Structure 1
Amino acid sequence: MIRFKNGPSRMTVFLVILLSLLVLAAGLYFTLLGGYLIYLGSRTWYYLALGILLLLSGLFMIRLNRFSVWIFAFIYVMSALWSYHEAGLDYWQQFSNLFALSVAFFLVLLAYRPMAKKQGKIAGSASLVLAGLVFIGMAATIASSFIPKNVIHTAEKAKPALPVQPANEQKDWKSWGNDDHGSRFAALDQITPANIKKLDVAWIAHTGDIPQSNGSGAEDQNTPLQIGTNLYVCTAYGKVLSFDVDSGKQNWMFDPRGTGPNWQRCRGLGYHETQPVKGVKADTACQARLFLPTGDARLIALDAATGKPCEEFGDKGTVDLKVGMGEVKPGYYQQTSTPLVAGDVVIVGGRVADNFSTDEPPGVVRAYDVKDGHLVWAWDPGNPDIHGLPPEGQTYTRGTPNVWAAMSYDDKLGLVYLPTGNSTPDFWAGYRTAEDDKYSSSVVAVDVKTGEVRWHYQFVHHDIWDFDTPAQPVLLDAPDDDGNIVPALVQVTKQGEVFLLNRETGEPIADVEEKPVPQGDVAGERYSPTQRFSVGMPSFGNATLTEADMWGTTPFDKLLCRIEFAKMRHQGVFTPPGLDYSLQMPGSLGGMNWGSVSIDPTLNYVFVNDMRLGLANYLVERKDIPESASGIEMGIVPMAGTPFGAMRMRFLSPLGVPCQKPPFGTMSAIDLKTRKIVWQVPVGTVKDTGPLNIALGVPVPIGMPTLGPSLATQSGLVFFAGTQDFYLRAFDSRTGKEIWKSRLPVGSQGGPMTYISPKTGKQYIVITAGGARQNPKRGDYVIAYTLKD
């Protein structure tokens, strides 16, 4: 090795100079962008000061002057003090602020001795000791990242699980949410927190239908049904398969041969079984039938035993849902959620494409006879006088609020509960009628026999945020303020609120307040002066953000997020869209979405999973909208028929990471007696995703956006798979502690379900795995778990 006389090697000098160039580049970056942040109105001078000091340190370092290390030490101390002042002990904020800087400080400390030697000074070991301490701190920080943060857990003593009484044991999983109430609760206790470590894969089946997602295309979001020895699955493209519950062997498959150009998914099937009349010999064909919603607007009845269409239903097994709708362009109207079987009728709403035009298909809800498929009643939100087919030459009211999420049914009250969306388009609504606004973004209770509205409760007035009511209303019994047990309804919303209503009257059980909200100034628009906040129940991820809430994996992308935030108008959850750049938090995905909640009535707990993603948007004048605008997922949407289109973007850093601090998704338990959070844990790791959508391969539980349903069992377990990593997890329902997980071949948005086999007596947990949202890895798996013998 060639060396300078009494100095460091040339290679060492080269490395020090290279380090100095990196420090100078970082200094220039933070100086310019830190100054720009101040120019935008921020009061955060830290980044500008950081940049100037880094430039100063780099200039000394490139001259191999050890004074550069002292400057960097000052930078590190200054940064630590500033970070604590702004973020306290928040782990992920401290990580973002200091970890990359710690790596740089470690390298600079290693450069101290060569620089001292170059200056002819005697360098002691202090710099190496300090470098060792910094390295130990970095190692401890990395180790700590594997421990969940932002955990909420009460100190209450865990309640013991109530044993399942034989008379109450679940016999079948007949509905998407297990029952008409949407509880996703199983009165089964064979698999428990004590023995779940023995839970293992029993069988794996394949549907042969791999969903190929383009962001708004095919997604596997199915919850299977189980009746007797048969398990029923539907795929994103509408195929239905029957499997044996113990072996996974395929019994039959039906292909409807029809799907839409986008939003291809089948979240669930409906099921109806005709009870035999004593003394009357009946044809067993289609005595038990499945109802399949399709992406091209059909409702098909299938014989549950054979998979063949039920000829007596509609036209040889099919009802055309486009009848009475007027023009229905491909992809503008389809069924994505499960049909609701309520007594002797099967009820469907429908997804209507958002933001293309005011003249889009109607949001009508219709009930058909389960046997022959004739129309029993219709509820047209825009014309309450229409109870059947519209008059000759007319259609149901176009562009009205629709019901795209799953519905619920109370057979004792004779009520069906409809979660409504808003009239399309979403972000400018000066055109909407009083009838549009009346039922928009609400839950509407209608009579199961007539479709007549009994009551409705609105969650968002004059919705201009795409805050559809996105999830199945869950029916349960809950205590009111006087301790009386009353029939209740839990509704989660995209804006991160949880409403608790009396399902008989529609009146709030938990306190709701009308609060003033920001007002916009877009010509032709009107704004509700107040909005409803469910103050008597916990809310999730909808706090008004500040610049201090911005985040990044390093100070570099964090600064970019702070700059973006400084450009935005953000006034809280109901920030109105405008012609300027604004931030809606939560965004149009939520908050909470279609997965709804699961409950445990033995604990009086509700289990809620959420996502925390913002939406950056602004209105675009009609003359500036390109003809190619479609914005199926993100981008410019045309909103034809209004003066504006809209630009929509997820609030992400250039690395594709949410710009606000973690967690980005959690699982929580709410006690309905206290109406408080019992526990909350971040859900999901960066093992299968990360910056630039590159899987980091490490299970750091930062808490990722969730999408999908959960499952609760009486034994004290909550199962969930709707994360960005490839796992099915089980949590202790009393503590929130993750006590089991199984690696999946791909991610899942499916709903876990469970049953006891009538042949073997074994309890199974089943999940479909077709791929996590926004992850390119896809599959066609149906996976069943049971306890090892």
Structure 2
Amino acid sequence: MPTRSSRTFLRVMTWVVGLCGVALLLGGGWLVAVGGSFYYVVAALLFLTTAVLLHRGRPEALSVFAVLVVGTLIWALYEVGFDWWPLAARGDVVFVIGALLLLPWVARPLARRTVADALDGRGAALSPVAGHRAFLAASLLAAVAVAATSWFTDLHRIRGELPGTRLGVGDGGVAEGDWLAYGRSQMGQRYSPLTDVTPDNVSSLQVAWHFETGDEPQPGDPEETTFQVTPLKIGERLYLCTPHQNVIALDATTGAQVWRYDPVIQGELALQHLTCRGLSYQSAEAAAAAAPQAAAPAEPASPSQPAASTAPQGTASELAAGGGLTAPQEDAATPGASDGAPVDETGGSADPGLPVAAANARTATCDDKLFMPTADGRIVILDPETGAVCANAGGGDGQIDLWDRMPNVNPGSYYSTSPVIVAGNSVIVGGTVLDNVSTAEASGVIRAFDITTGNLLWNWDSGKPNDTQPIGAGETYTPNSPNSWSIMSADEALGLVYVPLGNQPPDQWGANRSPEVEAYSSSIVALDIRTGQPRWHFQTVHHDLWDYDVPAQPSLIDLPIGDEIVPALVQPTKQGEIFVLDRRTGEPVMPVVERRAPGGAVLPDRAAPTQPKSAISFDPPPLRERDMWGATMFDQLACRIAFHGLAYGGRFTPPSLDGSLIYPGNFGVFNWGSVAVDPARGVMFATPTYLAFTSRLVPRPDSRTLVVNDSQPQGALPALNENFGAPYAIELGPFTSALGLPCQQPPWGYVAGVDLTTGETAWMHKNGTTRDASPIPLPFRMGVPNLGGPMMTAGGVAFLSGTIDDYVRGYDVTTGEELWKARLPAGGQATPMTYRGADGRQYVLVVAGGHGSLGTKRGDSVIAYALP
């Protein structure tokens, strides 16, 4: 006898199944109308038939639903094979409802109705519910068998091994236990010759010390406030900078703070992002060996304020005895106007009124020097021993003014987020400009300054690419030109600095670009260190409409190619290409071909007919409707409909007025974290990420009205993506479902090992879990996005902390196997480094501070790991 609860449960199930059928019929009909799959309409009819039979109390409802389970299983296998997460999105709702229909609370009332119908003459014969339940149970068991098979099947893995040591390599002038530049040396390899930590013992790594910087979020911070620093290790100390621009020296063995310097940043700044990726270093020996510049510039850089200082002065040793802590004056910062400084009629810009480092802190005569780029547009030069400002640098100011001769001065809208290149007695610096805010931004000029005098030595302006003599004090550089916001590399033996160049804002509209911009945009440019003259350039994207800046530091490595050792440059890109070039000439070492690209740009703009593709490529296959994903069949259906509503012809589909699908998106397959290369083995450790974005051009009625922002941001922060002065604003965002999940199926992140001498990807597997990216902290190993670079060691272990789950991991370089991981207190969106401490141990150091745009947990941790 069915109970009241059984009848109630059956009614609830009837409504659930019926509502699912209605939703699928409406959505499935829409999908068919736009040219998509018929599955959802067929499934809807089976849902509705099941609901009607349940309402009538017919046990045949179970068999009809079993047909739906079997049909869904066959369709899912046809679309994605034994790939668990895509299978789950297609079958989870069907399986759960099928399992509920097997419960006794459904079977009892169905069996009772069947018997009653037969006795009343309404049924020709008894229709036992057991047979229908068995059919449904068998279909669900088949689904479980397919699921279980998929759990042990990885369709996304490449298995293999990288070769061992093939080359004898030197230390690049860096002591074995030190880390003297962002990529350890200015060759950008992110490789250490230390061998203490190996695949056999890496699992024994444990926390040696943990330092917290105290740098917390502040009112007025931009959303993209990030702790991305890779510290330097020089002698017995570590040197790092924080998002809010403090410089900190730590004892490398104990993690104790030695000194801290606050550069007293100017007031409200028009910041798109706030970060400091690292510092740069010049040793006393390198300074002494630096040859004098061939020709002194006619005009020194204009000081922001008088260089006179009332701060205490002394030698480095004298200040060290006093503790070396700076004491910035409270009133040193000069607030900046929120709308930027006025521009005069000749195109020059009013002085931004920067603070002067030497006027607001303890000073010293420095032998060694640290270089700190600041968010208000300076390079501050510090004594590594004490943290004092160098009175014998920057013409006595202890700083270099990057706003000098810059057009469209608006403090915060231009600064160097990345460490500078130090070559001889010069610093070479680029800087980030605001993306997609206006057509009247600062210049992307690359400049070299004399460290001692602060004088401008040369300027490479892509608007006048062959005229590198310093411009006059009353002149300004080409506004709104392509900029280099990422990290440069240098080969001082060849006398070349390698500049990864971005796009001209606005990124997604290029109708008015000059021939010079067209030539150099999104290129790697090799400049003569001494003169700034361009020696060669290689364009990675033609007529870039996708924000495919060259985002990563080039890695310089000598490779055995045929019978020759080739001085090579390895350049990762946002679109997934790894270009391997001869760094002497820019000629490809690995083949590069031009492939046809989609057209259809909004007139009068255009799209380039072809785009370069490298023999080493992590370019993902084009997306199809079957690649859409969701937590359930319903949001997957919505993503399928959205997919058909976007313009998409594969990679390099131009932005459109109705919306385009951009894959890979401007997050990039590779970003500023770059790759790591092992110069002894000739191999690369890479971290490809795959996320689709959408891009829509929005017509602007005038140059002032907000069209993609609801209100003007607070303070001086810019209204992003408005493109003031251009005919279109831009709407950009990840291609996600209503639940906030990517519409494309996982994996979204991998680690990969590549033999750079053959171009072969020896191994590749998905990397990272969803533990910190979902409302419920379930560590599903789906392969998640990464932002932050890897590091390799001669011990055969690579380290990475940039995944959006809060872990640092160690991998076997040869096979790619994950060998060790440790939980971090915040997002690890920085590149790890390693060094030897005074106690003789090898330390692995990780910065865990999170990333505003990624939504990873914010923090202020610097953590060192070592073997017991």
* TM-score interval (norm. to shorter): over 0.9
**Structure 1 partner of 2:11:** 17
Q: 1:531 aligns with which of 593, 598, 611?
A: 611
Give % identity.
40
Match of 1:583 among 652, 657, 661: 661
Give 3-state SS (helix, strand or coil) of 1:119's partner. helix
SS at match of 1:569: coil
Partner of 2:741: 657
Correspondence list, 1:631-642, <5 A: 637-642=721-726
Matched, 1:449 2:530: yes
Q: Which has the larger radius of gyration?
A: 2
Show CA shifts across 1:405-461 (max 9, x none). 100000110100000001111111111100111111000000001111111111111
C-alpha separation in 1, matches of 2:747 and 2:74:
24
Go from structure 1 to structure 2 and tell me whether the alpha carbon gap of 1:761 and 1:581 turns closer, same or farther (over 3 Å shift).
Answer: same
Among candidates 326, 331, 353, match of residue 407 of structure 2:
326
CA distance in 2 between partners of 1:376 and 1:165 (Å)? 31
The answer as to 2:184 corresponding to 1:178 is yes
Q: Quick one: distance in 1 between partners of 2:3 and 2:148?
A: 33
Distance change (3 Å), C-alpha of 1:169 and 1:118: farther
Tell whether the 8 Å contact from 1:746 to 1:769 is kept in structure 2 after alignment. yes
**Partner deviation per Cα, 1:577-598 (whole Å, 9 max, x = no partner):** 1223211111111111000100
Secondary structure of the corresponding residue to residue 412 of structure 1: coil
- Are residue 605 (structure 1) and residue 683 (structure 2) matched? yes
1:687: Cα distance to partner? 0.6
* Of 236, 246, 260, the match for 1:229: 236
Question: CA RMSD of the aligned region, Å?
Answer: 2.7
User: 2 CA distance for matches of 1:422 and 1:390?
Assistant: 23
1:117 to 89, 100, 111: 111
- In 2, Cα distance between equivalents of 1:527 and 1:367: 35
Structure 1 counterpart of 2:78: 85
SS of the counterpart of 1:637?
coil
- Specify which of 265, 275, 280 is matched with residue 270 of structure 1: 280
Q: 1:636, CA displacement in angstroms?
A: 7.4
Matched, 1:437 2:437: no
> Shift of residue 713 of structure 1?
0.6
Q: CA deviation at 1:462?
A: 1.2
The amino acid of 2:368's aligned partner reads A
Q: How does 1:117-136 map to 2 (within 5 A)?
A: 117-121=111-115, 123-124=129-130, 127=133, 131=137, 134=140
Deviation by residue 1:495-533 (Cα, 9 ceiling, x = unmatched): 111111100010011111112212224222133221111
- Indicate the SS of the match to 2:686: strand
Aligned in 2, Cα 1:611/1:364: closer, same or farther, shift over 3 Å? same
List aligned pairs for 1:126-275, cutoff 5 A.
Answer: 127=133, 131=137, 134=140, 141=147, 150-154=156-160, 156=161, 159=164, 170-211=176-217, 216-258=223-265, 260=269, 261-275=271-285
Q: CA deviation at 1:149?
A: 6.0
**Do the aligned partners of 1:538 and 1:677 also contact (CA within 8 Å) in 2?**
no
Contact 1:169 1:187 in 2 (8 A): no
- For 2:719 and 2:665, how far apart are their aligned partners in 1? 14
SS at match of 1:588: coil
**TM-fit CA distance, 1:625:** 8.8
User: CA-to-partner distance for each residue in 1:110-138, whole Å, 9 max, x for gaps?
Assistant: 25522333325455498379649847965
Amino acid paired to 1:620: V
After superposition, what is the alpha-carbon deviation per residue over 1:283-305, rounded to whole angstroms, capped at 9, x for unaligned?
A: 76421111111111111001111
User: Residues 143 and 310 (structure 1 numbering): CA distance in 2 closer, same or farther, change over 3 Å?
Assistant: farther
Go from structure 1 to structure 2 and tell me whether the alpha carbon gap of 1:56 and 1:178 turns closer, same or farther (over 3 Å shift): same
Check if 1:357 corresponds to 2:438: yes
CA distance in 1, matches of 2:422, 2:84: 48
Corresponding position of 2:849 = 770
Answer yes or no: is the 8 Å Cα contact 2:222–2:274 preserved in 1: no
Per-residue CA deviations over 1:189-244 (Å, capped at 9, x if unaligned) read 10111111210000000111034697743111110110111011111111111111
The 5-angstrom pairing of residues 332-731 of structure 1 reads: 332-384=413-465, 386-480=467-561, 482-534=562-614, 536-541=615-620, 543-623=621-701, 627-629=705-707, 637-690=721-774, 694=775, 696-731=776-811
SS class of match (2:481): coil
Matched, 1:782 2:792: no
| SS of residue paired to 1:623 | coil
Name the counterpart of 1:102.
95
1:103 Cα offset (Å): 1.5
Greater Cα offset, 513-522 or 77-86:
513-522
Q: What SS is found at the alignment partner of 2:640?
A: helix
CA contact (8 A) 2:82 2:150 kept: no
Residues 216 and 502 (structure 1), Cα distance of their counterparts in 2 relative to 1, 3 Å cut: farther
Local SS of the residue matching 1:610: coil
Query: 1:301 — aligned with what?
Result: 381
Give TM-score scaled by structure 1 length: 0.92
- 2-structure distance, mates of 1:71, 1:513: 54
- Shift in Å, 1:245: 0.8
C-alpha deviation, 1:32, in angstroms: 0.1
How many Å separate the matches in 2 of 1:23 and 1:76? 13
Quote the residue 1:748 is aligned against.
828
Is the CA contact 1:146–1:700 (under 8 Å) kept in the aligned structure 2? no
Per-residue deviation, 1:316:
2.2
Which residue number in structure 2 is paired with residue 3 of structure 1?
none
| Aligned residue type for 1:263 | H
Q: Is the 8 A contact 1:711 1:719 kept in 2?
A: yes
- Is the partner of 2:657 in helix, strand or coil? coil
Letter in 2 for 1:113: A
The letter for the 2-side match of 1:24 is G
Cα separation, 2, equivalents of 1:198 and 1:521 = 55
2:616 partner SS: coil
Q: 1:764 to 1:726 in 2, by over 3 A?
A: same
Matched letter for residue 600 of structure 2: G
How far residue 474 of structure 1 moved from its aligned partner, in angstroms, is 0.7
| Cα displacement (A) at 1:665 | 1.1
Quick one: distance in 1 between partners of 2:529 and 2:85? 50
State the SS of the aligned residue for 2:133: helix
How far did residue 391 of structure 1 move?
2.9
Question: Structure 1: which amino acid aligns with 2:645?
Answer: K
Matched-pair contact (CA < 8 Å) for 2:174–2:180: no
Distance change >3 Å, CA 241–CA 169, structure 1 → 2: closer
Q: Which runs of 5+ in 1 are unaligned?
A: 1-6
- Return the letter of the residue paired with 1:589: F
Could you tell which deviates more after superposition, 546-555 or 713-722? 546-555
One-letter amino acid of the counterpart of residue 237, structure 2: N
Deviations 1:313-352 (A, max 9, x none): 2252121111111222243212211111123211110001
Aligned residues: 769
Q: 1:601 to 1:232 in 2, by over 3 A?
A: same
Residues 381 and 46 of structure 1, relative CA distance in 2, 3 Å threshold: same
Corresponding position of 2:40: 47
Q: Which runs of 5+ in 2 are unaligned?
A: 116-127, 290-314, 318-364
What is the CA distance between 1:38 and its match in structure 2? 1.1
SS at match of 2:684: strand
